Structure 1
Amino acid sequence: MKRMMMAFLLVLAVGCGNSSGGEGTDSNNGGGGGGGGGGNTLPQGLCNATNRCPDGQFCFNGICAPGCTSNKDCGDSMYCDTEDIGPPFYCKNKSVPTCTSDSQCAATQVCLKNFCSLKPPEVKPACDPDRSGSAEDGCDKYAICVDPNEQNNTKQDAYCASFPPCPQDGVCPTGQFGAVCNDGYLSGKGRFCMEGMCKDNSNCPSSWNCVKPYTNAVLGFCSSGAPGMPCTSNDQCASNSCASFPGMSGVCM
C-alpha cells in the first residue's frame, strides 16, 4: 500500500494523461447494429441496416466488429464508454459491484479490497510496483502493479491486478480503501476505479480523509489516520500527531 502510494504520487507529479476504462472486461458486452435487406437473414458475422450485431459488437462496413459506438450497441445493464481509450470503445457495466468474499466474484476472480479482480496468474508477468499506476509499470491499460507482500522489501510477489471499469455515472464505490475513476489522471491507463485514490472525502470510507500530497494537487490518498497513513494536519490522525512539511503531506505518528 505504501509503495503504491509513493508510486502514484510520482506519476501524478509528472502530469495527467488521457485514460479510460476496461477493454472488453465483461462477456455480456452490448452490441449494435446492422441488418439484412428485404427481411433476409444474413450469415453470422455480417450485418446491415436491419440485422443487428450481437451485444458488444457494432456494424462496420457490413461486418460485426468487437466494441461499440453508442449505448444501443450494449445490453441493458451495460453502457458504451466512449470516454475510454479508443476507438474502438467497449461496453462496460453501468454500476460497479463490490464484494466481501471471493464467493461473490467469478471463478476466475478474487475479492481484492472489496473489488472483484482477476486471480494472480501462476506465472506472474514482470511488473514494477515502484512504477504502479504509470504506463511503464508492466501491466496493461486496465491493471496496476500490486505487491501483496511489500513488507518483505522485495518485488518477487508483485503482479498485475485488474480493477473494475468506471460505472456510467463515473462514481466508483469506495471499497475498502476508497476509489476514484481515472478520468485522465494516470497517463496511459484506462478508465477504471483507482483503489485508494480520491478527489475529496466522498471518495473515501466514512470517517476517512482525502489527503492531497501537495498544495493544489488534484488527487490524493484516502487515509484512515492510523500510524504511517498520510496526513496534512494533526486532526487527520488518530494519535492527533502528524509529521509533515509546509505545502506537503506527511504521515501520522
Structure 2
Amino acid sequence: MKSIYAAVVLAVVLVHLTEAEDVQCPSCPPGYNLQCVKSVACESDADCAAGSVCVDGSCLLGQCESDADCPSGYECTDNLQCVESTGCKTSKDCASGFVCVEGSCVKGSCADDTDCPPGYECKGLECVPAGCKTSLDCAPGFVCVGGSCVAGECVSDSDCAPGYTCSDDRQCIESEGCTSSTDCASGFVCVDGSCVEGSCVDNTDCPPGYECKGLECVPAGCKTSLDCPGGFVCVGGSCVAGECVSDSDCAPGYKCSDDRQCIKSEGECGNNADCLHGYICNPRRLECEPGNCGNDADCPEKYVCNTNKERCFPNPCKWNRDCPPLYVCQSANQCRPGKYKPV
C-alpha cells in the first residue's frame, strides 16, 4: 500500500516539475538530480528514457538542452521545454537557415554583408555575387559584366585558352576556326584557318625594321643601318644590337668599340669625368679604358672585374695585355694563368 502511495506522489511531483518554470528544487535528497528525480548517469540523450535529455551527465525530464534542439522559431527554456521564440538579438539566436531581423528570426542566409563570404553581398537576405570592376572581383564561377558578377567563365575570347572562344552564355567553347588573327587570343595568329602561337603571319604584322620569320618578328635584313630599328645596326646584311659599326658612326671624339658602342676616343680625355661609366682616363695615353671596379657590375659589357687590382679586363680577351698579371690570353680568347706579366 505504501509503495502505491509513493508512486502516486512521485507521479504528481513529476507532472508538477514539467509544468513549473523553475526546475531546481530547494533541496533534494542525496542521489537525486536537480528535478528531485533519482539520478541516472548518461553521456548522451540516447542513454536517457523517452521524454528526458542528458544534461551535465545526468538524465533530466525535458525536450531540449539548447535552442538548437528545438524546431525553427522555438527556443529552449530553463525547464528544458521547447516554446515558441519570443525574439532574437543576433542571428546566432536563430535556428540554421534563419537570421535575426528586427528581433525576429526569419528565413534567410544573411542579415548584412558581413554574413557573406568574400566577393558576395547580402541582398534580400541572401548572399549574392557583389558588384565588380573586373572579373577578379568576383567569386570563382562568376565574371564581371556591366559592374555585376554573373555566372560564367569568360567575357571575351581573350579569357579562354587558345583554340577556344567565349560563347553568348559566357562559356569557353572550342573554336571552329579563324579568318584573321583578330579571331585569335593574344599571342596567337591565324594560319590556314587555325589559331597557332606566334606574333605575325607576314611582314605587315611587324613594326618598321622587322620582318616575319617563323611566325615571329625579327630584325629585318639590311643594306645600311638605316634599314634597322632603333638600337640595331647593319652588320653583314643583318640587323644586330649596337649603336655603331665604325668610328664614323660616332660623334666627334668618340670611337666604335668591339661591342659596337661609341666610347671616348684616344687623346680625348683629360680626366675620368670625360669617360663613360665603367671607364677611366689613362693619364699616359689620355685614352678612356676600362677602369676601377669592385665587382663585375662596375665594368662595361664584356668586361670582368679583377678584384685584386680593382680593374676591369676584357672577357673574352684579345691580347696578353688585356689580362691580369700572371695571366695570358689563350686561343679561346680567355685569360688563363701564364708566365706573361704585362708592363
- Name the TM-score class by shorter chain: under 0.3
TM normalised by structure 1 equals: 0.24
TM-score (norm 2): 0.19
